[in-house]
Structure 1
């Protein structure tokens, strides 16, 4: 492996005093055309394992082939599970209450069984976190066989030395909470949704976790996962706490204390889930531009091609087009690849353009790749992930680094964007944990420095999240201004070329949890 330690200083010197940057023509209209195709009704929302996957992956692969990349598919074996909750009842001192699916809760299971049932006491377990490095344990009492109820995110404290302060860590991710519930032997885990803390409304939860869900095929058929996984609304949670004689906000405050212990809620939950299953041969789509001097070393671009398919009807529409999320990211990556393929001479190291599957289901495609890499991770210098392009034409002359302060890649980025008259700014919503919510995280967990950026203005992002994120209304708009998307694509390609042509390797900055 190359020397990462002196990378930033040497590379900055090279980028400031080296030969002029090559012209990198990237056409915003071409990006727009790809989005229009990938987000069309024909693609049926691009869910894994269906017609939409076949059409989308073929389109991407054919494009890679047309621009001269070496192409291949990486099979990603999945199981598709459609869970239907036939009954969720809560029984306590105040009587019995039947919850309404979709409005009050969503539940599913990753266990490959025709039916899953759980009858168990509800226990409030704070944030559902066990973090030895912070001397934190929300499971001081045994919760084996219980259905745990946990808060969203992690204990976001003022002390920056604990859980990243106000910035969310992986302990706040829903994937972690279900993993920990399984380790604790719980019969089920329900996360309490709160819109402000989640950064998306309940409708996103309902749309994202209704219908068929996917998981990687597991040798144990999911037996090691927590049997019941789900979300409940804040309104339902507050009512449950009230019936137990507890105040929800007061209990949230108590959960911020290190000495917090699980609190039995005195309510018996009965959950019945019926399931239909199928195996799915999904795939990651890979195009490679071989390096001119070190073809066995790699810089990997990623963007997830999948979305939510056809789901719950909203305002007369049921195709979840995923135009911004993430047809726009794939489209940007495709045009970056086109521009890179025209370069003479070629970059010294290989550039890989990987459209991954299953991001919406928990980073399945990128996680599978990280566990089964086609190109050795020890020879992978960096990952650059694109999840949502700026389709609004405006960027406030900045580019935002999600996971600010993590890697020396942002030092290169800072120099590159300066030539566009722009600046690099930190993540504007670190409490939302976006670094852990997209495919760069799969590489980061393996120690590969990873860069994730966005440039959309806060106003545009807020409007998109409230009205279109994970909804059928996230669809193509012919009036989009793609100038900002093209600018961002040029920036990311320039960063990739700087890494691919440098003598030394990027590295994680001191104190970063992914530093190896």
Structure 2
């Protein structure tokens, strides 16, 4: 039997949203999620046997659903990647302070490189604390002002200077993280400044996850996009250190970390040369491979050269830091076997409903966990023109906390797609809420961002925290439990006891938004003044 949710849930939502909603199969969701997150898929790391199994599953399921191969007769788009695995990592040693400090790889520090090179050696590199490591001329903020860090190691704080504010009116949007707060930006700017190494000081609250997440995410194979220059314009080494070890380092250099962190929040902060030197070395095992984005197409009947996009990333971390019981497979059941399964279930529903006016594209991307590499590659090399893409929906880590009265919109108010979501929510008598934790920077952490940067409006929302059973207290508890105990760890595994009611209600929203986009002549745009508005306006001219 194909169902979407329980009779009780339907009653709470005011009934199903039409006959087509019943075509979204919870059995498909369960079966595909369970299979993708089984140990046989080994955590779905790009370039692994798990990738081969994942791609084969998606090709099979897309074909069974009634889709066509989306890339000129092929189900896949090749994504050139390089896998870099650090070997023989020495401790990160700081000398020149009151006493030498040696940080162990894994529990106290992690290190990697974007450079495609067999060996990295940082020797006696002067260490400079550069605050938040931000250079934002439009905001009159430059932590590197008057500073030459060529050949040096920079220590950087995570997030923005005003992340602890209650409101959103600070120089960097207050509590809401901007791209300047993301760890990816910190390394990008350090490389532009010529730093030999860039080390982020981990702090759980502004990072939005514990050290366990850093350790599991950074101590296995890392992936970068292949590049002709081998990324030799990047810093030699990048990494993180724990907050406790950062305090020891600062104390040994005659500094107080809390005082430096407070100073770094204020405009006009001046970088501090710590008078210590850093040394670190490691070898790299390098392997090139072509990972795969998987693309299915439901051609439109009236305007097949206009497109609506559904995206989800199929990859996860593969084998990672073992749990206490020895389990070293990061199965990624929630993140993101659920979203990948949703592509299949929605493909089934749309195909059964028949062709819409516009074509609908189902895109399962690779290497999201490595920095949105698969979606970035598609956006830079689109199979279907971005200026002819009306908009889309991104699905990442669907909630199993149960039915909620709301959904949490990442980037609420940024584009005209909010209206499509609101109409879909009204059918279920639910509401859209802004992010309760904008300081976590979720807008920059999933694949919609790759398309937004190039002008395509994408809506991305998560299961809400105001649960029908237990309210906001229960919702917050469930979110915190997942982050602390399963996120990017070996215990993100399929659970037969999951409550699917909230997920299936959310899938009806994804369906309704996509179907509405596929039947309208509207071209949704970004809000006036949004950073992505200009590029969308430019693409509108090309569309003519």
Whether contact under 8 Å (2:313, 2:364) holds in the other structure is yes
TM-score by length of 2: 0.89
Question: SS of 2:492's equivalent?
Answer: coil
Question: SS of 2:301's equivalent?
Answer: coil
- 1:392 CA drift (Å): 2.6
Distance 2:115 2:464 in 1: 39
Distance 1:328 1:514 in 2: 29
Distance 2:142 2:176 in 1: 19
Q: Which of the residues 417, 423, 431 maps onto 1:415? A: 423
Whether contact under 8 Å (1:301, 1:383) holds in the other structure is yes
1:23 matched to 2:23? The reply is: no
Q: Which of the residues 72, 79, 84 maps onto 1:81? A: 84
Residues 117-126 or 240-249, more deviating: 240-249
Distance 1:428 1:154 in 2: 17
- 1:22 CA drift (Å): 5.4
Question: SS of 2:460's equivalent?
Answer: strand
Q: Which of the residues 232, 245, 251 maps onto 2:254? A: 245
After TM superposition, the runs of 4+ consecutive aligned structure 1 residues lying more than 4 A away are: none
1:124 matched to 2:121? The reply is: no
What do the CA deviations read for 1:271-303 (whole angstroms, capped 9, x no partner)? 111111011210000001111111111111110
- 1:502 CA drift (Å): 1.3
- The 5 Å alignment of 1:292-307 reads 292-307=301-316
- 1:86 CA drift (Å): 2.2
Distance 2:407 2:97 in 1: 54
What do the CA deviations read for 1:98-150 (whole angstroms, capped 9, x no partner)? 11111110001121211111121110111111111111111011111110000
**Partner residue of 2:62?**
64
**Partner residue of 1:16?**
none
Query: How many residues are treated as equivalent by the alignment?
Result: 495
**Partner residue of 2:406?**
398
**Partner residue of 2:107?**
103
- 1:161 CA drift (Å): 5.7
What do the CA deviations read for 1:399-447 (whole angstroms, capped 9, x no partner)? 1101111111112111211111111110111000001000000001101
Question: SS of 1:314's equivalent?
Answer: coil
Distance 2:301 2:68 in 1: 14
Whether contact under 8 Å (1:333, 1:489) holds in the other structure is no
Distance 1:68 1:462 in 2: 39
What do the CA deviations read for 1:204-230 (whole angstroms, capped 9, x no partner)? 000000121011101111211111010
RMSD (CA atoms): 1.3
TM-score by length of 1: 0.94
Question: SS of 1:276's equivalent?
Answer: strand
- The 5 Å alignment of 1:273-422 reads 273-315=282-324, 316-344=326-354, 346-395=355-404, 397-422=405-430
**Partner residue of 1:200?**
209
Q: Which of the residues 131, 136, 141 maps onto 1:136? A: 141
What do the CA deviations read for 1:453-486 (whole angstroms, capped 9, x no partner)? 0014222111100100000000000111212111
Whether contact under 8 Å (2:108, 2:241) holds in the other structure is yes
Whether contact under 8 Å (2:62, 2:344) holds in the other structure is yes
Unaligned runs of 5+ in 2: 1-16, 70-74, 466-475, 535-544
- The 5 Å alignment of 1:114-193 reads 114-119=118-123, 120-140=125-145, 141-156=147-162, 158=165, 160=169, 162-193=171-202
- 1:249 CA drift (Å): 1.5
Distance 2:118 2:522 in 1: 53
Question: SS of 1:511's equivalent?
Answer: coil
Distance 2:42 2:170 in 1: 45
What do the CA deviations read for 1:62-95 (whole angstroms, capped 9, x no partner)? 1001111112200001110111322421102312
What do the CA deviations read for 1:1-38 (whole angstroms, capped 9, x no partner)? xxxxxxxxxxxxxxxxxxx9652221223201111000
- 1:167 CA drift (Å): 0.3
Whether contact under 8 Å (2:320, 2:489) holds in the other structure is no
1:508 matched to 2:538? The reply is: no
Whether contact under 8 Å (2:403, 2:505) holds in the other structure is no
Distance 2:20 2:53 in 1: 33
